[in-house]
A and B are shown apart, each in its own frame.
Chain A
Amino acid sequence: MKPGMTARRIACIAMGLLGAASARAATQVLVVAGLGGETQYEERFTQWSQTMAGAAITATGNKDTVVRLAGEAATREAITRELARITRELAAGDQFMLMLVGHGSFDGNEYRLNLPGPDITGSELLALLEKMPAGVPQLIVNGTSSSGAVAEKWTRANRVIITATRSGGERNATRFAGYWAEAMTQDAADRDKDGAVTAQEAYDYATRKVADAFKADAALLTEHAKLTGSEPGRFVVARLGAAALFASDPELIALRRQQGGIESRLAGLKPLKTDLPREEYYNRIEPVLVELAKLGEKVDARLAALGVKSGGGNAVR
């Protein structure tokens, strides 16, 4: 369970997953890797964007809704074209995710993403985002240097913005995007072990990793990531292991529905944790957890029947 989540919210997520399968709601994803300038950055940006795009495919279950622009293909024109296309295709109930990797800059007025040919500005990107249907939730992850410059300007309802820096003044090449990409593949990022890495989990993972890396180098932290907007947990940025099967196998969908019911009961007990003596709280949750664990055995059995080995959480391998 995500920290701070209500039972109502969990039910919504469960329904959302099922809805995604039944009503053909889609998540459109655009990953852009800007110009590296040096070989080491070119390699990094390519690798990170590949990981993000690959993870997005596991999250959406549809490679056709995931587009990656990198190297010479990552031009202002191409970005404009892809965002216009996505805007046309987005429908009610869909989600949109944009991930930017590369070198950003800020001259005091305008943010720019460094691209082959003309750069694209923060204002131009915002104008394209604003053309999207208002009801479509947007997740914008700008992992570039100086990305904090856009955080406030891009804020609007239904949009979550994650930037690698807290301001345009943090100009050093960032590490955030690398750890964001790493979160897409790590069980450790999936803190509630439900097999899905949400934007909130990935953000927490990446910011902690950035802080740890600077600490290990005994260096001053030169980038401070920032998250604005509400409910980042609604965006699933990666699914680990066999979790994606939950969206396609009818038996697993039924089991997931049962799991959701038990999780709701657990969520109802959660507030007691601060009120009850710890042992008493454990006594209350234990039978519910046992029930959920037994359901987990059924999930394992179904996965085995599908030829998938069970592993950690729903992140079945």
Chain B
Amino acid sequence: MQFKYGGYTGQVLEVDLSRGKVVGNPLDPLLAREYLGGAGFCSRVLYDEIGPKTRPLGPENVLVIATGPLTGTLFPQASRHVVAAKSPLTGIWGEAHAAGHWGAELKFAGFDAIIVRGRSPRPVYLWIENGQAKIKNARRLWGCDVYETDAMIKEEFGDGSIKLLYIGQAGENLVRFAAVMNDLDRAAARTGMGAVMGSKRLKAVAVRGSRDIPIAKPESYLKLMDELREKMLADPFTQGRADYGTPSLVELMNEIGRLPTRNFQTGVFEHAEAIGGKTIRKRYLVKPRADFACIQRCGRYTCVPEGPYAYIGGSPEYETLSCVGSKCGIGDVEAILYAHHLCNRYGMDTCSFGGTLAWAMECYEKGIITKDDTGGLDLSWGNHASMVELVHMVARRKGFGNILAEGSYHAARKVGRGAEEYVMCIKKQEIAGQDGRAQKSMGLGNATAARGADHLYAFPVLDEVGFEKAIRERFGAKYLPEIGEKLNPKYKGLMVKECEDFAVVVESVGVCKYGTMIPPTFFYSDILRALNATTGMRLTERELRRIGERIVNLNRMFNVREGIARRDDTLPERLLKEPAPDGPPKGHVVELDQMLDEYYRLRGWDVKTGLPTRGKLRALGLEFTVKDLPRRKVAR
């Protein structure tokens, strides 16, 4: 039977690994209308199913993998899926996103989302084809890395066109920042979703399908997609993305002093050029490699042809170059490329791996961690041989790697001796490649993000290099020029609030933040038109904006239920008290409190506690969460 709306398959696969049962259930059309899909779908399912008593690595945690109504369609860059569960790294809301070809294929195989419950007694993987699913034995796959698993399953079926999502050894070994990988080099990296999948003993999800994604209005759809494609291609940003991908941000971030270097001691790195986009393009680029229906093609293949770091495979993004590179003082680009490749094979988040290593390196510099702790490894800044060795050790939880596998927050508590002081985490997750002192909106966005340190939840980038026209359109001309000044805290509460609301809509429909957040090509009106032509939902822009706000508030309530409040929306002391020493932000700290006040006020949350108010929750249709507000501290 066909679903009420186009764009969706209308089926959700529910898997109970403890009992070995799979069942396809119809998607609730009301859920689709109120939360769209992707991140929004996950937020509602997990709010209802898990809570404070859920242990992230216990069988009671629920892992949701969801696509959006635009995933697998012709909207530019609509290749995204979302993986969510309670996070073993942060203990709160966990969510990670990836592109690739897997999400689209899941829909062609007949499902919008997969909900995984329980824990299998033995390693298994899921096989999904045209509305049918089977749990299959994964004993021979257990212990294999992502590349090996990919090859083995494709060989088993004799079909190289099967699309796969999987974990590597890091997920099996419950590394707290293990990633869920797909299509070899695509990572739903953050918050340790790979460890949750590993705890369920689910090695992989293989999909193949020949079902339709129906389109509500095929005639106007074709015209609209032609229009959007032309708009995307005409953006001057597109060619730059195609030529360099995100690595070119290394040079840009270094210029504005936002490139975290030596565990955020500074935002300017002397070897930035050596690890930047130009170097990689000139010496290592094989070709741009697009994800499904992606016009911008920032994904790419790189090759180090010879030497100890020889490999061919996916290319690192800016965040990896920053976290594994500058943050650890490493200027050897081949070592970074290789470490990135290894992290992908093991299935591990490069942001948290690099962040944890940078913490250890600073502790080593300060004499808190010595060779006695590391098993003889020299952790001086820039020691790339130790860094590469530690990728293996962390993924396999060997020696000192077993401590780093806990993430820097937990590792510092184990080490003690004042190591906590150098942890650059927010809500226990390592900050990626963003020094908020150089861009105040990033500082605030990291502090308020639902999944702990996260540059992507709000992804406020329009003040980075002056997108004045887009700023005027999106926030209003009356806030200029202050809102566009990256070192000025003024109006950044507004910017972050608006960006968060829009970004969760983007993640819920299954679209990439490139093309929506930066370059700011598509905004609500474009997504709305595409959504209505695809689904036939006849949403208004007001409703779409309200959906964004609803999802942000629901994520917040998930965290409030876990005890999160204003005191947790903070940054490491270093960013609040130590002025940036170099570059344009020299002398700056993050003026967090004043930005937070503005942010909470605009959110309609209690400024003192950072808790959503009953009125706000009711207005957004989140009545069912009101009971979870702390009794005594509830604001009017």
- Do A and B pair up? The answer is no
B interface residues with partner A (beta carbon < 8 Å): none
A interface residues with partner B (beta carbon < 8 Å): none
